Structure 1
Amino acid sequence: MNDPTQRCSHHPLGRVVSAAAFAALLITSQWVTAPLAGAWEMRVCADPDYMPQSNRAEEGYENRIAEILADELGAELTYQWWTLAPSMVSEQLREGNCDMMIGVPDGGDGVLATIAYYRSPYAFVYRADEGYDIATFDDEILTELQLGTTSEGTSAHLALARRGLLDRITVSSEFAGTNAGARFSALIESVARGDIDVAVPWGPVAGYYAGLQDPPLTVTPVPEFDIPFTPMYHSIVIALRLGDEELRDLLDQAIARRWDDIYAVLAEYNVPTLPLPRPSLSIAEQPQ
């Protein structure tokens, strides 16, 4: 990939200097080896209406994490807004309209991925005053309740379908709303109102929107695996174009160095997480 510092003539490495000028800089100790703030443009593809992950006002936790990484790399953060869909890869990332996609589940085809920086499970969400104690998809009480998921095809939706509960499921697409964030919010609000007894969204949706409700809602992570060996969580990475190993390595190093800051943001947004090994700086800084 092209060195990102070459995108801006204001970065020291982007200037053409004479040997004499270079020597003078060394002598006067004014040569700065670390990137300067705003020295290069970190172009991120993100959904403009996908809270709690991201929105155009940059209020999502993925927006906050992108800010942390840009700060660590001395970059100016800019966005290419695009609805989260496969076309983000084909029409934006591969076309060069952005350099990376934030908040992407690991294992996607046709992209280069950073190390995972968090792992979040699906979760049961229900009113705390109902007295439920639901911890598995095999709890018999689920056969008596109205259920909700974010969409068909999610791991949680499939787990409920395997147990013959399709006729009890409402998906968030059935709610009015022009964007995914509004529909996610409506799903959790319906639990607070009692229209749906138990929702099973992905963890960030569960934790963030449940924290905004009154009366209080209980958020309980589902078991990590469901039959037959289906992971009930997503490990999240940043996706880049194939061949952008240099940028991938820079981001891996930044993630490792700012690990605690990333997890502080996740906690602020009530994102439930599963254990993920903290990356070693010595490993992250080695070429992969």
Structure 2
Amino acid sequence: MRAWANAFLTVLGLTVWISQAQPAIAQTSDLVSKNAFRVCADPANFPVSSKDGSGYENKLAELIAAKLELPVQYTWFPQATGFIRNTLAAKRCDVVIGYAQGHELVQNTNHYYTSAYSLIVPKNGELAEVDTLNDPALKGRRIGIIAGTPPAAHMARNGLIGQAKPYNLFVDRRVESPAIDMLNDLQSGEIEAAVLWGPLGGPLVKSDYPDFKVVPLVKEELPPRLFYRITMGVRQGEKVWQRQLNSLIRRNQDEINGVLAEAGVPLVNDLGTEVLELSQ
């Protein structure tokens, strides 16, 4: 979630900066493995990543590794508190495949897709035409929401929290799966709609819940924003590695889009105002 502004430098200042920065770049570059594409990932975060290689981030890792002509090597750790500290920062791996733009724990590459939180409802149900959280049709409905996520603020503003069913945000996916629990509750009728991060909910619906509809929330006008640009995360200061990945992303964007579309990740434009339709 993230961006920094670059100041203009004088010729003298630029010369000094280059002379000081060159050794640092060489040092940080040496931390990146030349023998493997070392990925930091959650082993139990399907459909995003999985130890069995079935997640779409696994497929993106394979794609980038193939372009680098390197094998993929994973460092597995639950993507909760301590994830970056115990993986990327510990120099056990060199890249996090999916990281929201602007987070200061990592240095972001250029973003390779943008997605949004989404409303998930039965295709043929009474809420099938709803596309915004201020729709009167949602009043009095029991809606599933991951506690503490940005859509909760919109639901509170629209008087939907009182009837909502909350699900845990920070969990170890090896023992608990709030997104799947939420979708199962929607299927059983325990809740009438679900609000989930699109890159999590979209692929789950595509693979296991064909009677549901995923509606990216691109019409919300008030903060907080519900869309995020997703990058790859590398260690702070590793500019050479960042630029190399930026180049790979730029040159292989169509293939990256294909992996995401095939998985069922809802894609939106960079401003989060329009859903993109890609062939799947």
Q: TM-score range by the shorter chain?
A: 0.7 to 0.9
Does residue 264 (structure 1) correspond to residue 258 (structure 2)? The answer is yes
RMSD: 2.3
Structure 2: gaps spanning 5 or more residues: 1-27, 272-280
Is the Cα–Cα contact under 8 Å of residues 115 and 267 in structure 2 kept in the other structure?
A: yes
| Alignment-mate amino acid for residue 83 of structure 1 | P
SS in 1 for 2:266: coil
Does residue 144 (structure 1) correspond to residue 171 (structure 2)? The answer is no
Q: How many residues align?
A: 242
Q: Deviation of residue 267 (structure 1)? A: 1.0
Q: Deviation of residue 194 (structure 1)? A: 1.9
Match of 2:18 in 1: none
Match of 1:198 in 2: 193
Name the CA shift for 1:276/1:73 in 2 (closer, same or farther; >3 Å): farther
Does residue 95 (structure 1) correspond to residue 93 (structure 2)? The answer is no
| Alignment-mate amino acid for residue 261 of structure 2 | A
For the residues of structure 1 that align with 2:107 and 2:75, how far apart are their CA atoms? Answer: 19
| Alignment-mate amino acid for residue 37 of structure 2 | M
For the residues of structure 1 that align with 2:234 and 2:79, how far apart are their CA atoms? Answer: 15
- Most deviating of 178-187 and 124-133: 178-187
Match of 1:231 in 2: 225
Pairing of 1:149-160 with structure 2 (within 5 A)? 149=145, 151-160=146-155
Is the Cα–Cα contact under 8 Å of residues 29 and 241 in structure 2 kept in the other structure?
A: no
- Most deviating of 193-202 and 212-221: 212-221
Q: Deviation of residue 4 (structure 1)? A: 7.0
Is the Cα–Cα contact under 8 Å of residues 94 and 235 in structure 2 kept in the other structure?
A: yes
Q: Deviation of residue 145 (structure 1)? A: 0.9
Q: Deviation of residue 169 (structure 1)? A: 1.6
Does residue 2 (structure 1) correspond to residue 29 (structure 2)? The answer is yes
Is the Cα–Cα contact under 8 Å of residues 120 and 204 in structure 1 kept in the other structure?
A: yes
| Alignment-mate amino acid for residue 196 of structure 1 | I
| Alignment-mate amino acid for residue 140 of structure 1 | P
| Alignment-mate amino acid for residue 141 of structure 2 | L
Name the CA shift for 1:179/1:139 in 2 (closer, same or farther; >3 Å): farther
CA displacement, residues 5-46 of structure 1 (integer Å, 9 cap, x when unaligned): 8x56xxxxxxxxxxxxxxxxxxxxxxxxxxxxxxx2111111
TM-score, normalised relative to structure 2:
0.79
Pairing of 1:1-288 with structure 2 (within 5 A)? 1-3=28-30, 7=33, 40-132=35-127, 133-149=129-145, 151-173=146-168, 179=174, 182-213=177-208, 216-223=211-218, 225-228=220-223, 230-276=224-270
Q: Deviation of residue 170 (structure 1)? A: 1.5
Q: Which has the larger radius of gyration?
A: 1
SS in 1 for 2:207: coil
CA displacement, residues 164-188 of structure 1 (integer Å, 9 cap, x when unaligned): 32222223339x9954873312211
- Between Structure 1 and Structure 2, the one with more helix by share is 1
Match of 2:278 in 1: none
Is the Cα–Cα contact under 8 Å of residues 31 and 91 in structure 2 kept in the other structure?
A: no
Is the Cα–Cα contact under 8 Å of residues 137 and 159 in structure 1 kept in the other structure?
A: yes
Is the Cα–Cα contact under 8 Å of residues 61 and 265 in structure 1 kept in the other structure?
A: yes
Is the Cα–Cα contact under 8 Å of residues 141 and 160 in structure 2 kept in the other structure?
A: no
- Most deviating of 248-257 and 206-215: 206-215
Structure 1: gaps spanning 5 or more residues: 9-39, 278-288
For the residues of structure 2 that align with 1:71 and 1:177, how far apart are their CA atoms? Answer: 30
Q: Deviation of residue 205 (structure 1)? A: 2.1
CA displacement, residues 38-67 of structure 1 (integer Å, 9 cap, x when unaligned): xx2111111111111101111111111111
